Chains A and B, each alone.
Chain A
């Protein structure tokens, strides 16, 4: 974790390290985060939820988004529509996307998570 043994020579250096290391513990904070929940029941896994998970993590890393909590959940009963992926922005309703494919992930991340626009063609519904 501390591969850089660069000396901290000023308050600025310290602040830079803080910015860079902010995400080290960010997964442990629950404040004002966008939540992504991926259905990982047997049905979800069979329908390719693992690939969706990988795609989500890759997309978040590429876009340097650290304020997103990625969670998994079990089967919620809509097995034929798996893989299911839910997005909850702080203060907004839970939006469920269905039959998500890896290419859809990048659209959901950029449109919904970053810009707050729901991706209509993959929308299944909202749960309040």
Chain B
């Protein structure tokens, strides 16, 4: 095997790929061939590096140089200067927002400093389409250890000792869940990977599948061995084409090696794996709806018990875990349960991957130990709020979660503390909001989503969320009435109590938590007919400060509906009846005379 002196890793996560990474990769191959370097420098496509904001990302080893926002036209310079002559192309280095310093090395970037990448250790580091690279990083060693050296009961014990809890949101202890399924009588059992990630702003599971598909496969096989299942399904939404493609390649390569199939590693263990593409309904993330969908039925939840561990897919005992949970399994087996349990808080062990989005400087994918504070995530890893505006809240757990505010900044993040604060861990979506976000509008956004995704089985969820949304819409349009707040609270609590599954059971959360922490904003909309953040269009009013106006006519010339009148060098006036609140006058005023409010 030839020795490559340098490796050029080009991020091909969905973010970077849509930002043009495949063209960057082609350009590298072309330029290296031109210089005759193609035999000494390896170019590979990897999974997500997490810093999606700055993609496409290129990392050059052995130096570990981190280039951000690389365009195909930059490639010739990187090849000529860095790879040929050894001079780092400083203009393409990542610029740290806090210090405004250029950072040369991957490992010196503060974004990664506070992170603890275990599940993501291969993401962005290996070529996900090359099974040999996974094997070279201890891949399938955990499976080998389980099959050869451990009994199924010992594997379950190890999972219990590790303290791993379901990463899909519920936080149920994984070892215990496996124990139920293992103890369930039956000669045919199934394991399922829930990859139906659908919360707005969440992309943790997608990135793991794209960056390290074999880890999920290996985790499922270990689970299959521990619980006596010989068949598995990965339920992944069709909206994740790249993840599905990588999984297909991974399953094909593992099958060619005999790591999937019959008599695996000569131990008599058989395991086959299927991918089931879902149509992207949010409710199919609920386990009973998911199984119905695999069976070819309409994706609707059913009452539990019986739990899937007793009567699951096609009536057989079944265990369902989320992508991140499965990906943790091989690491726990290789490094030992104690090593895993040493990280995190008393009741929440290990790490959690979050998709950090919204108004932070470094959006992206982060993996942090349980027990880290919101402050560390938002201000240290996230680099603070864009434009150094004031922090307002984080929406954690997506449409099923709640918001956390200033007073929670130093809260240690784990399952219990988040639930106590009215939010949930959820699958890991973390949306940061600043003073420019209207909380009523934010709650409306999430409720619009859950209302649309409600499967319609339970009346409280189907009709109740619709009513809540009607009320929120009316409030944002300035038509709210004083009783609306009490109605929202009443409806919200009823829907939570009376819905069958977690979709309805959590759908009112964004409204209830924003009401708890930002009741004054609701009141401003209802009583004063004002949106304090200046977001809700119907409540906005643009006017011109006659003392500041210099009569330059710029506003009038840029108004698309010609509703501004006034003579040159005299103060102008906006006709409120005609104004469409587009804000063009404000954007164009050279002296800041246009005021919003």
Q: Do A and B bind each other?
A: yes
A residues apposed to B, CB below 8 Å: 1-2, 5, 7-11, 13-14, 17-18, 20-25, 27-28, 30, 33, 35, 37-41, 45, 53, 57, 60-61, 66, 69-74
In the complex, how many residue pairs between chain A and chain B have their CB atoms under 8 Å apart?
108
Q: Which residues of B sit under 8 angstroms from A7, Cβ to Cβ?
A: 257-258
> Given that A30-B62, A40-B85 are known contacts, is A60 also in contact with B3, CB under 8 Å in the complex?
yes
A38 lies within 8 A of B86 (CB):
yes
Q: Does B125 contact A (CB under 8 A)?
A: yes
Q: Classify the secondary structure of B's interface with A.
A: loop
Q: B253, A2: Cβ atoms under 8 Å?
A: yes
- The smallest C-beta distance from A105 to any residue of chain B, in angstroms, reads 14
Please judge, given known A-B contacts A2-B131, A33-B62, A38-B86, whether A25 and B126 are in contact too, CB under 8 Å. Answer: yes
B34 an interface residue at 8 Å Cβ cutoff? no
Name the residue of chain B whose CB is nearest to the CB of A13. Answer: B265
Closest approach, in angstroms, between the C-beta of A72 and any C-beta of chain B?
A: 3
> Is B258 a contact of A72 with CB atoms below 8 Å?
no
B87 contacts A74, C-beta separation under 8 Å = yes
Residues of B within 8 A of A57 (CB): 3, 5, 40
Q: Which residues of B contact A72 (CB under 8 A)?
A: 83-86
Interfacial chain A residues near B259, Cβ < 8 Å: 8
CA distance A13 to B42 in the complex (A): 26
Asked if B62 and A69 make an inter-chain contact with CB atoms under 8 angstroms apart, the answer reads yes
16 A-B pairs with C-beta separation under 8 A: A2-B256, A11-B148, A14-B140, A14-B265, A18-B135, A18-B136, A21-B133, A28-B9, A37-B86, A57-B5, A57-B40, A69-B5, A70-B62, A71-B63, A72-B84, A74-B87
B6 part of interface (Cβ distance < 8 Å): yes
Main secondary structure of the interface of A (DSSP, over half): mixed
**CB-based contact A1/B85 at 8 Å:** no
Instruction: For the complex formed, measure the closest distance between the CB of B215 and the CB atoms of chain A, giving whole angstroms.
Output: 15
Shortest beta-carbon contacts, A-B, top 5: A72-B86, A69-B62, A7-B258, A70-B5, A21-B136
Q: Are A74 and B257 touching (Cβ within 8 A)? A: no
Bound-complex Cα distance A70 to B7 (A): 11
User: In the complex, what distance in Å separates the CA atom of A86 from the CA atom of B368?
Assistant: 39
Q: How long is the Cα–Cα vector from A72 to B5 in the complex, in angstroms?
A: 10
> Across the interface, do B265 and A22 meet the contact criterion of CB distance under 8 Å?
no
Name the residue of chain A whose CB is nearest to the CB of B143.
A14
Pairwise interchain contact A14-B144, C-beta atoms closer than 8 A = yes
User: With A7-B257, A25-B126, A71-B63 known to touch, is A17 a contact of B132 (CB < 8 Å)?
Assistant: yes
